[in-house]
Chain A
Amino acid sequence: MSKELLPDKNGRFGVYGGRYVAETLVPALEELSEQYEFIKKDKNFLKEFRDDLTHYVGRPSPLYFAKRWTELLGGAKIFLKREDLNHTGAHKINNTVGQILLAKHMGKKRIIAETGAGQHGVASATVAARHGLECLVYMGEEDIQRQSLNVFRMKLLGAEVIGVSSGTSTLKDAMNEAMRDWVTNVDDTYYIIGSVAGPHPYPQIVRDFNAVVGEEVLEQSKTEIGQDPDVLVACVGGGSNAMGLFYPFIENKNVRLIGVEAGGLGLSSGKHAAPLNDGKEGVLHGMRTYLMQDDSGQITETHSVSAGLDYPGVGPEHAWLKDIGRAEYVTADDEEALEAFKELTRIEGIMPALETAHGIAHVKKIAPSMSKEQSIVVNVSGRGDKDINTVADIEGIEL
């Protein structure tokens, strides 16, 4: 297994991935692949991308030792990869900073994006504003309700937010609608997909632009931990923050990789968003991967307290890492995530996004039984300000 070789030339990670789209988009995806292969070796592009990560995003993000939380759990040392400190408050900006440069290189004038929690929408609107490009963000009506703060942020940034009321009115439907827009306006429009999902080459592009997270952890571990971490933990919706953290470690098999899916009301309830734990292989949004689906192949409704994890599919590279046994995928349910959200906020003064809180919840489960010499790095993929309405709602508090 050599990670350099994946995806293969057909966009495959094992049997997963590929390019399952209507013919109109095939030539556009072929062009995108070609342009990306060119640009990723181009010195000027790489310099611009790195400069933007440093001066605009604020990288590197710290690897912070959570001393009080470590003491509380009484086991492994816990380190937080602080993606929440990035400009716009999440890891999502890493990818959009890269893709907007690709869009400009391709001469596209109009940017579209889908968003669930709104973090990717904000990150897309942000880079579009900075480069003076028109930006449209598709967002499920249900998510517009629960993430109203991010909707307003996008509007302030000059983006148009288009509500999607088809299907389940969440992230997957926003993605359908963005695809429909792209197929109609393919000549002048660049579609910034926000996760390691969709047709090839998106899972590769989004992974590569987020891999800076894992690359920094690799370096920072040398000084902050003194060795490689024993375990990496990240939440998984589509899986971009997890893939970014995991990717540089894939060949280093001494490091355990754990992805945490949204357990919703519990796996046995069926009301969750955990396709790697309770889904089966299928095709959606241009990719072959694990999906939440019924016996007739219809995509089923998902449930999660966090809008960003409320997605019935998962990036194809995660499906592959699961099958070959390189990464483990577990779940944390809504209640556990909320508890973790509160605990990290109170003990470290760091309020994680509800998505991130799923990863935090899993650390709570495994850290106590690990030795004090061992270490865990958990990706704090985003900050939780956007979720205070949701949390207040659940607590029955009116703001």
Chain B
Amino acid sequence: MTSRIKETFSKVNAQDQTALITYIVSGDPDLDTTLKIMDTMVEEGADIIELGIPFSDPMAEGISIQRGHERALKKGTSLKSALDLVKKFRSTNSITPIVFMGYMNTFESMGAERFMIEAVDVGVDGILIVDMPPEESSSFSEQAKKYDIDIIRLIAPTTSSERAQKISSQSSGYIYYISVKGITGASNIDSDDVKDKVGILRTYTDLPIAIGFGIKDSDSASSVKDVADGIVAGSVFVDLIGQGEDIIEKVASKTKELSKVLQ
């Protein structure tokens, strides 16, 4: 079976577009709403959905996404309930790739193999564990390979060429290039630097490259879209969700806006 992620990038690339990857936190503000948000995002042009798995100590997140994690945890959301959510989503959508993005401890608490078995079963396509650099990922890498789940890895502006090469060789699905030194929702994106670094990255890998961490609006999205295969937008959506009113309408219009920029 060709992976959904691969299929999606082939399709987007063939149309000379950039994929829109949207991030939201599972269970924020509650699981039913998250499901509606996912469907809405797909309708309005999202190509891949990154589902944040809430954690009590999300070290790499800015304040917007931290609050999202807190809201989801208040409702008792766990990795298990995120898997159930994907099962529901898949009953009406068998195309859009789903990537779980979270922190080591929640995944490890379930166990690498048990997680992979359930992930395959419900239709999760990839995982991105923020605090799991290649050096610390042996059991997850092994299990992911065995169950055909993509391991998406981060490459940062601080990553050396040598290291970037090594990380690329241990990645699958796509590479997530962090566009800023900082946390999610940062606002200091330097599009020239991103272009240079991604250009170098291309010489090491044929995997699609997605850019994230500093993309919050059409301007920042369009500033880097030409060098990327995908753009990740997260904090902007989690902020809208945090406002608590007319969530679906707001998410729909923001998705549409970003999707239009990327076409």
Assuming the contacts A23-B153, A23-B159, A299-B57, asked whether A283 and B181 have C-beta atoms less than 8 A apart, the reply is no
22 contacts between A and B (CB under 8 A): A18-B135, A20-B132, A22-B60, A22-B178, A23-B153, A23-B167, A24-B182, A26-B158, A26-B159, A27-B156, A166-B70, A176-B57, A179-B59, A180-B183, A183-B60, A183-B181, A183-B182, A186-B181, A282-B108, A285-B59, A297-B55, A299-B57
A296 touches B133 (CB 8 A): no
A176 touches B59 (CB 8 A): yes
Q: B174: shortest Cβ distance to chain A, in Å? A: 15
Q: Which residues on the B side are within 8 Å of A283 (C-beta)?
A: 103-105, 108, 131
Given the complex of chains A and B, what is the CA–CA distance between A20 and B55 in angstroms? 15
A27 touches B159 (CB 8 A): yes
Assuming the contacts A26-B133, A167-B57, asked whether A184 and B106 have C-beta atoms less than 8 A apart, the reply is no
Q: A162: shortest Cβ distance to chain B, in Å? A: 13
Any B CB within 8 A of the CB of A187? yes
Give me 16 other A-B pairs in contact (C-beta within 8 A), A20-B132, A172-B57 excluded.
A21-B59, A21-B133, A22-B154, A22-B178, A24-B159, A25-B158, A26-B158, A166-B70, A167-B56, A173-B57, A184-B182, A282-B105, A286-B131, A296-B80, A297-B110, A300-B56
Any A CB within 8 A of the CB of B78? yes
Any A CB within 8 A of the CB of B203? no
Given the complex of chains A and B, what is the CA–CA distance between A27 and B166 in angstroms? 13
Any A CB within 8 A of the CB of B109? yes
B163 touches A26 (CB 8 A): yes
A20 touches B182 (CB 8 A): no
In chain B, residues 140-191, which have Cβ atoms closer than 8 Å to a Cβ of chain A?
153-160, 163, 167, 178, 181-183, 186
Which A residues are closer than 8 A to B by beta carbons? 10, 18-28, 166-167, 172-173, 176, 179-180, 183-187, 282-286, 291, 293, 295-300
A282 touches B109 (CB 8 A): yes
Given the complex of chains A and B, what is the CA–CA distance between A21 and B153 in angstroms? 12
A284 touches B57 (CB 8 A): yes
Q: A109: shortest Cβ distance to chain B, in Å? A: 16
Residue of A nearest to B160 (CB): A27
Any A CB within 8 A of the CB of B136? yes
B133 touches A295 (CB 8 A): no
Q: A94: shortest Cβ distance to chain B, in Å? A: 27
Nearest 10 A/B pairs, CB to CB: A297-B109, A24-B156, A23-B154, A184-B182, A297-B106, A296-B78, A283-B104, A299-B56, A22-B60, A297-B105
Q: B164: shortest Cβ distance to chain A, in Å? A: 10
Q: Which residues on the B side are within 8 Å of A24 (C-beta)?
A: 154, 156-159, 178, 181-182
Which B residues are closer than 8 A to A by beta carbons? 55-60, 62-63, 66, 70, 73, 78-80, 103-110, 130-133, 135-136, 153-160, 163, 167, 178, 181-183, 186
Q: How many A-B residue pairs have CB under 8 A?
A: 119
A298 touches B154 (CB 8 A): no
Residue in A166, A185, A291 whose beta carbon sits within 8 Å of that of B105 in the complex:
A291
Q: Which residues on the A side are within 8 Å of B70 (C-beta)?
A: 166-167
B104 touches A20 (CB 8 A): yes
Residue in B79, B80, B105 whose beta carbon sits within 8 Å of that of A299 in the complex:
B105
Q: Which residues on the A side are within 8 Å of B59 (C-beta)?
A: 21-22, 176, 179-180, 285
Q: Which residues on the B side are within 8 Å of A285 (C-beta)?
A: 57, 59
Residue of B nearest to A31 (CB): B158
B181 touches A293 (CB 8 A): no
Given the complex of chains A and B, what is the CA–CA distance between A167 and B59 in angstroms? 11
Residue of B nearest to A27 (CB): B158
Q: Which residues on the B side are within 8 Å of A187 (C-beta)?
A: 181
Residue of B nearest to A24 (CB): B156
Residue of B nearest to A313 (CB): B57
Q: B188: shortest Cβ distance to chain A, in Å? A: 8
Given the complex of chains A and B, what is the CA–CA distance between A299 and B69 in angstroms? 13
Given the complex of chains A and B, what is the CA–CA distance between A291 and B158 in angstroms? 30
Given the complex of chains A and B, what is the CA–CA distance between A300 and B73 in angstroms? 12
Residue of A nearest to B131 (CB): A20
Given the complex of chains A and B, what is the CA–CA distance between A23 and B182 in angstroms? 11
Given the complex of chains A and B, what is the CA–CA distance between A160 and B232 in angstroms? 34
Residue of A nearest to B155 (CB): A23
Given the complex of chains A and B, what is the CA–CA distance between A316 and B155 in angstroms? 27
Q: Which residues on the A side are within 8 Å of B130 (C-beta)?
A: 22
Given the complex of chains A and B, what is the CA–CA distance between A21 and B158 in angstroms? 13
Given the complex of chains A and B, what is the CA–CA distance between A278 and B55 in angstroms? 21
Q: Which residues on the A side are within 8 Å of B106 (C-beta)?
A: 296-298
Assuming the contacts A286-B131, A296-B106, A299-B105, asked whether A20 and B136 have C-beta atoms less than 8 A apart, the reply is yes
Considering residues B56, B78, B103, B181, which has the most beta carbons from chain A within 10 angstroms of its beta carbon? Answer: B56
Q: B258: shortest Cβ distance to chain A, in Å? A: 24
Q: B65: shortest Cβ distance to chain A, in Å? A: 11
Given the complex of chains A and B, what is the CA–CA distance between A296 and B106 in angstroms? 6
Q: Which residues on the A side are within 8 Å of B178 (C-beta)?
A: 22-24
Residue of A nearest to B154 (CB): A23
Given the complex of chains A and B, what is the CA–CA distance between A18 and B186 in angstroms? 27
Considering residues A167, A285, A295, which has the most beta carbons from chain B within 10 angstroms of its beta carbon? Answer: A167
Q: Which residues on the A side are within 8 Å of B158 (C-beta)?
A: 23-28, 186
Given the complex of chains A and B, what is the CA–CA distance between A23 and B70 in angstroms? 24
B183 touches A19 (CB 8 A): no
Q: B250: shortest Cβ distance to chain A, in Å? A: 24
B56 touches A298 (CB 8 A): yes
Q: A180: shortest Cβ distance to chain B, in Å? A: 5
Q: A168: shortest Cβ distance to chain B, in Å? A: 8
B163 touches A284 (CB 8 A): no
